[in-house]
Amino acid sequence: MDINRITNYARLIATIGINVQKGQEVDITSEVEQIDFVRILVKEVYKAGAGKVNLIWTDSAITRLDIEYADVERLSHLQSFEKARYEFNMEKHPARIYIDSEDPDALKGIDQEKYGKIISSKGREIRSYRDKYDDYCQWCIAGVPGKKWAKKVFPDLKEEDAIEALWKAILQVSRAYDGDPVENWNKHNDNLVKHANKMNSLNLAKLHYYASNGTDFTVELLDDVLWEAGGEFTKETKIPFQPNIPTEECFTTPDRTKTNGVVYSTKPLSYRGEIIDGFSIRFENGKAVEVHAEKNEELLKNMINLDENACYLGECALVPYHSPINETGILFYSTLYDENASCHLALGMGFDMLLKDESKYDTNEKKVEHGINKSIVHTDFMIGTDDLCIDGIDRDGKVHKIFVNGNWSEELDS
C-alpha cells in the first residue's frame, strides 16, 4: 500500500480520532505484528502535539497460550503493574488508541468456560477503574491488516495480496483512500450529526423493528437519553474525538427493561475465536429469555449469561443497509467494521454519556434503576436487512417512519 495513504491514515487517527492535545500523554495498544505502522503512527501523534507516547504490546497467540496454560485464579485478577496503569489513567487521562488487527481465529477451540470465568472476574476489576476515567479522555479504535486477519477475509488470495486488499478496504471505508482524509471525515461527521439531531428532535418513546426474516420487536426509549452519531466529547474538557474509525451509526441507549419481541441476526458474529451464526434472540421485559443458533448456540447462551446484565440491551444503532461497508460485500470478522455494515444492537453495557444530566445518577445502581444497563461486556450483533423497517412512536403517539427497506426514510434523510 502506498506509504502516503498509510501516513495520511495515521494522521487521521492522531488528529481526528483522538484529537491529541498539546502535551497530552497517549497510549497506543497494538499487536506486535504492527510495529511498522505503529512507528508511523507515533510520529504523527507527536507531530500533532503529544507530550509522551506509551506503547502497550499484545499478541493474540500469546493470549491463547495464557488461557491454555495459566490457571484461572492468576488470570482472573489484575496484577500490581496493571493496577498502576489504570491508576495512571485515572490521574493523567491519556488519550488512547487501539489498533484492531487480531487474528479472528486466534482463540478458536479454547476452553470457553475457563475464558468466560476469566473475563467475568477480571472484567469487574477493570470496570471499577474504567468507570472513573473512560468519559474523561479521548480514545479511538482503528484497523490495520494483520497477516492472518487478511487471509481470513480473503482466503483465496496470496498473503501479500490479501494484506493489500484488506488495506484498500480499510482505507476506503475509513474515507482515507482518496483525497484528504481529515476533510473527508469532517464532511462525513457533519452528515452523521444531522441524523442524530433529527432523531433527537422527534422525542421518541419507542421503536418498532420488523422485517420479512421474522424480526418483530419493540424497544422503549428513555426520555432523558440522547441519540448520538459521529464524534463524541470528553466529559469535563469537552474535547471532540472519534472513537471509531470507521463509523456509520446513529445510536442510543434504550430502557434496559422494556424490550419485547424477537430479532434475527443477519451477519455471522465473530466472538472469542468462534463464529455464532444464524441466530435469534427473544426478549421479554428487556431480558433475552430464549436464544437459538444454527452454529454455536451454546456459546451464544454463554455470552448472554456472562454476568447478570449481559442479557439486556445496552445499545440500538441505526446504520443504512447501503452503507459503504456493506457495499464492499466483505465480512471483516471484526466488530469495528461489521457493526457498521447495517443496523445493529448490543447486549451488555449501555452509555452513561448519553444521559442529558448524568449528575442526577451518581452511582451505577441509580443508573441501572433508571434504565441504563451496566455490564462488563458490550457485544454488538447485526440485524439490518434490505427490507428492515423501523417505526418511531413519539411521546404524543405519532408514528414516524425512521427506516424503510433498510435505509433512512425520506423524513429522516431530507
pLDDT score of 221: 96
Please name the residues in contact with 137: beta carbons below 8 A apart, sequence gap of 6 or more: 89, 93, 94, 95, 96, 234
- Tell me: the pLDDT tens digits for 323-362? 999 999 999 999 899 999 999 999 999 998 898 887 788 7
The residue type at 263: V
Per-residue confidence (pLDDT) for residue 10, from 0 to 100: 97
Whether the pLDDT of residue 208 is over 80: the answer is yes
Residue pLDDT, tens place only, 119-144? 888 888 887 887 777 788 999 999 99
Annotate 55-73 with DSSP letters as a single string.
EEEE-HHHHHHHHHHS-HH
pLDDT at residue 1 tops 80:
no
Helical residues (DSSP H) of 215-277, grouped into ranges = none
* pLDDT for 365: 83
Fill in the amino acid letter for 189: N
Q: Which residues does residue 217 pair with via DSSP β-bridges, in sequence order?
A: 209, 261
Average pLDDT, the chain: 92
Helix (H) or strand (E) holding 39: helix 35-47
Residue carrying C-alpha cell 429522516: 412
Q: Mind listing the pLDDT tens digit for each residue in 182-193?
A: 999 999 999 999
Burial of residue 234 (number of CB atoms within 10 Å: 0-12, 13-18, 19+): buried
How confident is the model over 11-26, as pLDDT tens digits? Answer: 999 999 999 999 999 9
Q: Which helix (H) or strand (E) holds 336?
A: helix 335-338
Residue ranges of the chain assigned to CATH 3.40.1830.10: 3-179
Percent share of the chain, pLDDT over 70: 100
Residues 6+ apart with CB under 8 A from 346: 313, 314, 315, 317, 378, 379, 380, 381
pLDDT, one tens digit per residue, over 37-96 is 999 999 999 999 999 999 999 999 999 999 999 998 888 898 899 899 989 988 889 999
Q: What is the CATH number of domain 3-179?
A: 3.40.1830.10
Q: How confident is the model at residue 297 (pLDDT cuts 50, 70, 90)?
A: very high
Q: Which is more confidently placed, 72 or 163? A: 163
Place of cell 495464557: 66
Task: Give me the pLDDT at residue 405, please.
Answer: 94
